[in-house]
Amino acid sequence: MKLNQQLNLKDILLSALKKSLSRSDYCVLILYENWESICGKEISKKTRPKTLYNNVLTVSVENSVLIFELGFIKEEFVKKINEFFSSANDGNLLLDKKISVRDIRFISE
């Protein structure tokens, strides 16, 4: 890091949490932090990433009707999340290995 760069509190916290969280929990934290940019403002208000296990992301959803609707665009979400992780690996989100999601499981809150 260059001396003249300002330290961002968010970056400092993410760096510290990376050391204490499991890899999957850290990835969910990164997703949670960037969820609106990944899935859009309206959907992000009604959903939240919860867990990532065996490349399956569990997303908490506001209601069962939305679960049904999101099922139709699940593949689009998988693609957007994987594109996000791909760009995060090239960026500064501190991901040390390639992360990919192969499926999404929607659950009711």
**Domains of the chain, residue spans:** 9-108
Rounded Cα distance, 83 and 31, in Å: 12
Rounded Cα distance, 79 and 25, in Å: 20
Tokens in use for 105?
Answer: 């499981």
pLDDT tens for 24-79 read 888 888 899 899 999 999 999 999 999 999 999 999 999 999 999 999 999 999 99
Looking from the CA of 74 toward its CB, the CA atoms found within 13 Å total 17
Q: Which CATH architecture has domain 9-108?
A: 2-Layer Sandwich (3.30)
Tell whether pTM > 0.85. Answer: no
Count of other CB atoms within 10 angstroms of residue 105: 13
Q: Looking at residues 83-90, what average pLDDT do you find?
A: 77
